[in-house]
Structure 1
């Protein structure tokens, strides 16, 4: 039987050290994270059928900075707020119908990409290695776009799903991935200062 306190089970990247904080601090972090996601939702470029927002920058960041479990939980809490009708989605939207409309595939991808980026950050895909951090964000963006396009395909056809649900987001994915990697690198500098 393995020792549950072995160092391999503790995150190697945890600039906020949330894994060792109290439950109250973790709850506060989740609430702050949902607020940050709600604010990021309001920074958008309106497009049809899906707007460009800062989600694919902020969600992987939350995963990487909070850790995969708390990051995914934070994103799920934000989605619950949206489902309850709170105005936390793009353009101040909320409500269950967004989980069946054109953006549903993207929304479903969000907790997955938070967990993935957090899991990868804990394994070295973080600010200590900019190329791996960039790749982690790029992978998160790719998963988001793929799940979004898969959902959109039966609604508007595969060609239109790629044309309107993937292609317009590719340059932004590169920029957001580079910015996310730089933010993770900066988080390490802040910790050592």
Structure 2
């Protein structure tokens, strides 16, 4: 039974199989990933001090599909685009100012969260819908923890919780569920 199961299911979940592709293909995937992250960032619900966007959804999806190395690199490339002023962040923002204000902690958390989800996906978590949801939820929670901790250094812990963590918990749960379903659906397509 164990041999049959391991033959049917790969040791890790890699629907795009990017690790087996050429370097040129991987570079193209990174560019497409940064576009996906930018488009997801433009979908936003205005909130203060940080708008709620689909960024963390995209970050967890990129991590799950690309793996921890290429996923983390893709998110870093997207942040690099933002640093040079490209309009890839929430609301079409870009520029160094976003790396010095209240959003800094969240921006720092994004590649770490993407890499975490990518690592968990490589360990097979995304083959199971419950574990896939847990992986996505851990990625979203990590963004809130790191972003909230930095925000607390600026505003104090109570204000940071009230403005930069609590309003985003429900959205993080919903985005985690959506990401887990999307990745699981792609796994089913891969097996057909």
TM range, smaller chain: over 0.9
Distance in structure 1 (CA, Å) of the matches to 2:35 and 2:176 = 22
Task: Quote the offset at 1:11 in angstroms.
Answer: 6.1
Determine the structure 2 residue equivalent to 1:153.
152
The corresponding residue for 1:188 is 187
User: Do the aligned residues in 1 keep the contact of 2:11 with 2:124 (CA within 8 Å)?
Assistant: no
Structure 2 distance, partners of 1:108, 1:98, is 11
Per-residue CA deviations over 1:93-139 (Å, capped at 9, x if unaligned) read: 1011101111110000000011100000011110x211111111111
Unpaired stretches in structure 2, ≥5 consecutive residues: 1-9
How many Å separate the matches in 2 of 1:11 and 1:161? 40
Q: Is there any run of 5+ residues in structure 1 with no aligned partner, and where?
A: 1-9
Q: Does 1:118 align with 2:105?
A: no
Q: For 1:61-76, list aligned pairs within 5 A.
A: 61-76=61-76
Higher helix share: 2
Number of aligned residues: 183
> What is residue 169 of structure 2 aligned with on the other side?
170
Q: Distance in 2 between matches of 1:83 and 1:38?
A: 13
Q: Deviations 1:23-53 (Å, cap 9, x if unpaired)?
A: 0000000000000111011000011100000
Structure 1 runs (4+) greater than 2 angstroms displaced: none
Name the counterpart of 2:128: 129
Distance 2:13 2:60 in 1: 14
